[in-house]
């Protein structure tokens, strides 16, 4: 049957060609089919009318950017944005407005704890929203409260003061478990446009309703995060897990992030948090020598910084009772 239809169509086309050669019109049905394949001037005109006119105005000559370019070379543009809690990073890495930073690392490496301390540091003059989809809001707050106090036993009075200080600057998305990715985008819009949030944490990518093997879905979601960051000026922090290798004794890199390779391509910054389990194992078995004991407990590794010039590693030491990461193992800190 199919061959008969193809033959009939071919015969019809041949007859139409013959008729056309004699200066006659195509049969109406065939003419309609042909018209669908042709892009006419009318179609092009209609397309340009339908296009968003605002996009046309975004094509500008180079001289429009003259003042911005002079400012770039005559100011510390690289060092604009919020700094991390550790002073030795201030001339190396910044959290700039309108950017997306990916925080990667093995499960249990301390990504959420590191981010909690960073958000606590930013609360001095910035507004924060945390969507911690892997733990309850009260757990996130308890960790941050310990980090703020510098100890593991805050009094009821201190807890009240901590919450009062954060009531106009710190918000948490009260949702545990998987959330649709479109909902996350909506929450970010709400937090930035209604609450004035300047830093938004999505913890983590695996809880945003996208399958591990849905690389197109992951790419589209991260693309939307980047668009929201640019549209609102908010800095978005996205937590993602790294693939496990033979062991966790060596730091993973940006190529080890689970999911689509386009994730690290699209974001502005890639930061990896690595926990020195080799040192932990040596200490636990009483086999740690002086060299091992002098090693940092945690590394924060900058594998990408689109608008900065530095990439490298920063060593930190973990203070168990406060859950703080310190610049050096002998660092003292005052209680908040």
Tell me 82's DSSP state: B
Q: Which residue has the higher pLDDT, 80 or 18?
A: 80
Please state whether 259 falls in left (phi above 0), alpha (psi between -120 and 50) or beta. left
Please check whether residue 207 lies inside any domain of the structure: yes
Peptide bond into 206 cis (omega under 30): no
pLDDT above 80: residue 154: yes
Please state whether 104 falls in left (phi above 0), alpha (psi between -120 and 50) or beta. beta
Please check whether residue 182 lies inside any domain of the structure: yes
- Please give the average per-residue pLDDT across 119-132, as a whole number: 96
According to the model, what pLDDT value does residue 244 have? 87
According to the model, what pLDDT value does residue 269 have? 98
For the chain, report the end-to-end CA distance as a whole number of angstroms.
83
pTM of the model: 0.80
According to the model, what pLDDT value does residue 159 have? 95
pLDDT above 60: residue 16: no
Q: What share of the chain has pLDDT > 90, as a percent?
A: 72
Please check whether residue 11 lies inside any domain of the structure: no
Q: Which residue has the higher pLDDT, 125 or 45?
A: 125
Please check whether residue 307 lies inside any domain of the structure: yes
Radius of gyration (C-alpha) of the chain in whole angstroms? 28
Residues 88-96: contacts with CB under 8 Å, at least 24 apart: 88/314, 88/327, 89/300, 89/314, 92/302, 92/308, 92/310, 92/312, 92/314, 93/269, 93/271, 93/302, 93/305, 93/308, 93/310, 94/308, 95/122, 95/199, 95/235, 96/235, 96/268, 96/307
Average pLDDT, the chain: 86
Q: Which residue has the higher pLDDT, 25 or 212?
A: 212
According to the model, what pLDDT value does residue 18 have? 44
- Please give the average per-residue pLDDT across 314-334, as a whole number: 88
CA 202 to chain centre: 8
CATH code, domain with 288: 3.40.50.300
Q: Is the separation of the CB atoms in 266 and 205 below 8 Å? A: no
User: What band does 65 get if pLDDT is binned at 50, 70 and 90?
Assistant: confident
Please check whether residue 336 lies inside any domain of the structure: no
Rounded Cα–Cα distance for residues 32 and 30 (Å): 5
pLDDT in tens, 82-92: 999 999 999 99
Q: Is the separation of the CB atoms in 103 and 237 below 8 Å? A: yes
Output the six-digit token pair for 239.
């937590």
pLDDT in tens, 263-315: 999 999 999 999 999 999 999 999 999 999 999 999 999 999 999 999 999 99
User: What band does 28 get if pLDDT is binned at 50, 70 and 90?
Assistant: low
Please check whether residue 31 lies inside any domain of the structure: no
Please check whether residue 57 lies inside any domain of the structure: no
pLDDT in tens, 157-207: 999 999 999 988 999 999 999 999 999 999 999 999 999 999 999 999 999
- Give the relative orientation of helices 137-149 and 156-166 as an angle to the nearest 10 degrees: 110
- Please give the average per-residue pLDDT across 231-259, as a whole number: 95
pLDDT above 60: residue 54: no
Range of the domain at 301: 62-326
Please check whether residue 5 lies inside any domain of the structure: no
Domain count along the chain: 1
pLDDT above 50: residue 136: yes
């Amino acid at each position: 049957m199919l061959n008969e239809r193809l033959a009939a169509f071919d015969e019809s086309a041949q007859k139409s060609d013959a008729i056309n050669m004699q200066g006659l019109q195509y049969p109406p049905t065939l003419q309609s089919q042909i018209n669908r394949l042709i892009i006419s001037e009318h179609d092009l005109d209609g397309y340009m009318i339908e296009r968003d006119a605002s996009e046309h105005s975004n094509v500008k000559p180079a001289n429009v950017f003259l003042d911005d370019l002079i400012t770039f070379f005559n100011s510390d543009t690289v060092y604009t944005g919020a700094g991390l809690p550790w002073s030795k990073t201030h001339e190396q890495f910044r959290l700039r407005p309108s950017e997306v930073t990916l925080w990667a690392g093995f499960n249990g490496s301390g990504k959420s704890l590191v981010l909690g301390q960073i958000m606590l540091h930013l609360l001095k003059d910035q507004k924060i929203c945390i969507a911690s989809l892997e733990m309850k809001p009260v757990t996130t707050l308890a960790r941050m409260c310990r980090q703020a106090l510098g100890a593991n036993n805050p009094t009821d009075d201190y807890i009240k003061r901590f919450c009062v200080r954060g009531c106009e600057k710190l918000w948490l998305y009260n949702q545990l478990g998987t959330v649709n990715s479109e909902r996350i985008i909506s929450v970010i819009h709400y937090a930035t446009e209604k609450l004035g949030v300047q830093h938004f944490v999505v913890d983590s990518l695996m809880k945003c309703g996208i399958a591990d093997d849905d690389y197109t879905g992951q790419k589209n979601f991260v693309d939307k995060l980047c668009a929201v960051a640019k549209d609102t000026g908010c800095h978005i922090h996205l937590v993602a897990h790294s693939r496990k290798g033979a062991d966790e004794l060596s730091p993973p890199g940006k190529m080890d992030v689970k999911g689509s390779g386009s994730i690290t391509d699209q974001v502005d910054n890639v930061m990896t948090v690595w926990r020195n389990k080799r040192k932990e194992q040596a200490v636990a078995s009483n086999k740690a020598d002086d060299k091992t004991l002098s090693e940092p407990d945690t590394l924060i590794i900058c594998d990408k910084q689109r608008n900065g010039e530095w990439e490298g590693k920063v060593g930190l030491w973990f203070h168990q009772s406060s859950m703080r990461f310190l610049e050096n193992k002998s660092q003292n800190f005052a209680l908040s």
